[in-house]
Amino acid sequence: MIKSLNQFNFFTRQFSYFQPPSLKGLYKASKLIVYFFLALVLLFFVLDKFFPIPLASEKNQYSAVIVAEDGTPLRSFADKNGVWRYPITLKDVSPLYLQALINYEDRYFYSHPGVNPGALLRAAWQRMSNGRIISGGSTISMQVARIIEPHSRSIPGKIKQIFRALQLEWHWNKKKILTYYVNHAPFGGTYEGVEAASRAYLGKPSKELSHAEAALLAVLPQAPTRFRPDLHPKRAEKARNKVINRLTQFSIWNQHTAQQAKIETVASVLHKQEILAPLLARRLKSRAMKTGLLKTTINSSLQYSIEQRLSTYLSRLPKKISIAVLVVENQDLKTRAYVGSADFSDAERFGHIDMVQAIRSPGSTLKPFLYGLAIEDGLIHSESLLSDAPVEYAGYRPTNFHGNFHGPVSVRFALQKSLNITAVQVLHHYESNKFVARLENGGLALTFPRHSKPNLSVILGGAGTNLESLVTSYSAFARQGLSAKIRFTNKDALQERRMLDGGAAWIIRRILEDHSRPGVPEQFLNWSNSRNVAWKTGTSYGYRDAWAIGVTSRYTIGVWVGRPDGTPMPGHYGAITAAPILFDIVDGLPNRNQASSDYSIPSNVKKTNICWPIGSEKKDTIDSLCHQRKTAWVLNNTAPLTLPDVTRKIWSSHQVQYWVNKKNGLLVNASCNVQQREKRILAKWPDALEPWLTQDILAVSRKPKSDPSCTTIPERSSGTLKIQGLAHHSVYRRSGSDEKLPVVQLDALGGQGKLYWIIDGKLARIANLRQSVQHRFKKTGLHTITVTDQKGAFDSIEVKVIK
């Protein structure tokens, strides 16, 4: 029981005032004392065996405290009894507090074996002399014993307390006893432990205490209710000053320190718990309850900054709209900021719903993965020719977000402008089931309505996913094609999955970075600067979800804006609602000017010249078949040919062979009466793009007129659609005093589905079959009028407008 020389010397000092009797009497007394002492020791061990320390299970013993990477509290949850108790170690407590506590409560803490006989005798004498308690005789070890096993204020209760204190000293060391005290001592109300008290009454962690604050918290457990600073500040201040005087008396603190400490007033304040990332904390609560303290990877400064930005932005949005933001670090997928809703306390905006996890329609945000996978599979390269024109796939008629058409476009242009028709075209050739399976294998699982299967609409948002899955998947564009599971703590393992080829990921990221963000001219892009962001927006059907995902060299950032209840947000979509938030966050990221180390061109990627309409490399294409030259990024030294027309089931080289009369160059066949013939080759553009082609390109991509000795072959018209009422090469002029240019009536015979009137390559009108529409010319000169239907049939004429 006496475990050290210090404790033996302590007892020697306590009984030094007794005068020894005669030697014979001393011997007898000594024997009695030894026997008595041995009996006590034996009794102690027997009782210790059958009555062990009744410690509660460590599980759920503390409040659940979730903190940021730097230790800043994010959110705390009271334990099952509603008590706030934050776990803390001695090294994380202010030395001033420990100094005040030990020297005021238990000056001989490190010397005695759990009880201080002198203090007990003094306390008993003072109580008998004054009829009331003047000072306590309990050591810190005895106070811990009372915390572990509360007892009545009686002699049997005190004996029980002394026994438990001795047990603690036998089984624990001083550090463990003191640690238990600073974590469990009562501080009034539902607060236990110095850390919980410091944050509640002083609004700061216990490691930052001043002398005055340390003295206050040292005395508070003596009478937690009477000394509560938020309820009785004057009484608390008086008790605090008593501690300061005691430490001055013992020369622990000097007079100057004591005077300065007494100047501080005790504020009658109960600090409200500050909350950061409340929905992440709620998500991690069960994990935190197991340990008491859970340290996350959250960057507290970044988290606070984003929450403040969103609060400002939210005030400009209509009611019921919420915002979610997720920021992860690409290197290890650690979560740096997590905002499940812009205002956790706003019930009208459904602030309690975590929209980082909520399943929503992803809109167009899946398009980069489709183009990347298609590049990996050798279907396309960055400048492959796509057809942005009216089309139908077994009754499914995709349209672009703004309802217009661009005709011939590249993969790069289609992805940057987020064109729907071209994305469906690529998915048609890649296949929907394969696309969904590849996404799931890469870690991006999609949900579908019950009994439904993947189809072409999946690329336009016809499925469900969440912000977390999108962000972790987009990180693959900065991680050589590897996505990974999100990490909330350093203990979470890095679990990676292959989303797509590293070279394909690089090409897609480059395309998205080439699309300069609003307000930043393209010529100012700097590829070695992490402020460059590869970004993509998306909007779900009915304006229900607005997305913006960005990838920098170091971070991947996701933004969602919408109504958690799923109602529409008319006029709000990704590019105008979510993208500004994304760019604002990107500009505020830490180390945003850090040079990129991952932007070297992969070994399986090269830049080369390719030719439209065929799609092959320029070096492999004869000049007459290269109508337009483009500079493309290709994978594995392969330049895939242009995708076939939707109506064609087999792939082709897009080269058409024909025979002409060698004398006049006119088209001939076996039935023509021509002696000298010559074989020629032309490059064939997709049929749906002919309305957008210039006359020069049409001239070299169409067969010539038939030789007079042959049957006539139609030139302009495709299918059974014909412009009515307007003649080819007609001339129109302004009439009378009207300063405006003439108006023409547009009619067509035949066709299927909607009719699309295209004037000079731009969509002018959309009409139903047999519906007349009018068009006013805006300038003089030659104009090409084209009509096309949803099956790809078209007719085209030229007219001239003069003043």
Kindly report the backbone phi and psi dihedral angles of residue 370, in degrees, each rounded to the nearest multiple of 5, phi listed first: -60, -50
At 396 the three-state DSSP class reads: strand
As a whole number of angstroms, the distance between CA 765 and CA 777 comes to 13
Would strands 722-724 and 743-749 be described as parallel, antiparallel, or unpaired?
antiparallel
Please compute, for residue 268, the number of CA atoms within 13 A of its CA located in the half-sphere on the CB side.
5
Query: For the chain, how many helices (H) and strands (E)?
Result: 21, 27
Distance CA 180, CA 189 (A): 19
Burial label for 705, CB within 10 Å (0-12, 13-18, 19+), is middle
User: Which token pair is 640?
Assistant: 């895939």
SS3 465: strand
**Which bin fits 668, alpha (ψ -120 to 50), beta or left (φ > 0)?**
beta
- The DSSP secondary structure of 149-173, one letter per residue, reads S---SSHHHHHHHHHHHHHHHHHS-
Tokens 């197991």 sit at which residue? 290
Chain mean position to CA 488: 11
Q: 111, 138, 364, 473: which is the annotated catalytic residue?
A: 364
- 545 forms beta bridges with 562
The owner of tokens 């469900």 is: 464
Contacts of range 473-476, beta carbons closer than 8 Å, 24 or more positions apart: 473/369, 473/439, 473/442, 473/443, 473/444, 473/499, 474/368, 474/536, 474/549, 474/551, 474/556, 474/558, 475/328, 475/330, 475/333, 475/551, 475/556, 476/442, 476/500, 476/505
Tell me which DSSP letter residue 773 carries: E
Query: Residues 564, 354: contact at Cβ < 8 Å?
Result: no
16 is catalytic: no
Q: Classify residue 271 by its DSSP letter.
A: P
- Asked if 662 and 676 count as a contact pair (C-beta separation under 8 A), the reply is yes
Dihedral, CA atoms, 492, 498, 502, 503, nearest 10 degrees?
A: -160
Cα–Cα distance for residue pair 135/226, rounded to 1 Å: 16
Pair 73, 138: CB distance under 8 Å: no
Phi-psi region of 725 (alpha: psi -120 to 50; beta: other; left: phi over 0): left
Cα distance between residue 34 and residue 641, in whole Å:
103
For 294, the token pair is: 């859970």
Question: Considering 63, 94, 105, 475, which one is annotated as catalytic?
Answer: 105
- What is the distance between the alpha carbons of residues 727 and 598, in angstroms, rounded to a whole number? 59
Rounded to the nearest 10 degrees, how much is the dihedral formed by the CA atoms of 80, 86, 90, 93?
-150
Which residues sit opposite 803 in a β-bridge? none
CA distance 672 to 674: 6
Q: What 3-state class would DSSP assign to 706? A: strand
CA–CA distance, 253 with 261 (Å, rounded to integer): 10
CA 625 to chain centre: 48
User: Six-digit token pair at 586?
Assistant: 């990107």
CA atoms within 13 A on the CB side of 443: 22
Work out whether strand 496-498 and strand 293-295 pair parallel, antiparallel, or are unpaired. Answer: unpaired
Tokens of 523: 């010529």
Active site residue 129: no
Question: CA nearest 527: which of 597, 477, 579, 475?
Answer: 597
Picking from 53, 691, 797, the residue whose alpha carbon sits closest to that of residue 391 is 691
What residues act catalytically? 105, 364
